[in-house]
Amino acid sequence: MTDGTTKLNLKIEIRRNSDGVVAADTWEDWDWHQYWWEHGNAACDCNRELFFLSAQGLPNPEEGDECGCGRGAFSVRCTDADTGEVLYNEWEDQ
């Protein structure tokens, strides 16, 4: 799939690496860009924590309680929700 050329229903699975808990969500009509997940804003733990909490229906953390910027606290797997095609996968054990 070419980045950004097709809108799709994106299924994201976000794993909190400290305990293996996974939260899943589907974003409809999403412009797919692997760069965003690999090197962009969605690659940072601070944003991934927000996606993780949102997928569980939980509120955003209070000021000062955020995960903080960095990499490694969360891993993601992104798939096309309609076809099941894996678009991006950081889960080494999957």
Q: What is the pLDDT along the chain (94 residues), one digit of tens a residue?
A: 556 667 899 999 999 999 999 999 999 998 889 999 999 999 999 899 999 999 999 887 765 566 778 899 999 999 999 999 999 999 875 4
> Residues 36, 26: contact at Cβ < 8 Å?
no
Determine, yes or no, domain membership for 4. Answer: no
Is this structure's pTM higher than 0.75?
yes
Whole-angstrom distance, CA of residue 15 vs CA of residue 94? 12
Number of domains in the chain: 1
| pLDDT of amino acid 93 | 56
| pLDDT of amino acid 94 | 45
| pLDDT of amino acid 64 | 57
Determine, yes or no, domain membership for 64. Answer: yes
Whole-angstrom distance, CA of residue 80 vs CA of residue 44? 22
Determine, yes or no, domain membership for 35. Answer: yes
Sign for the CA dihedral angle at 82, 86, 88, 89 comes to: positive
Domain that holds residue 60: 28-89
| pLDDT of amino acid 53 | 92
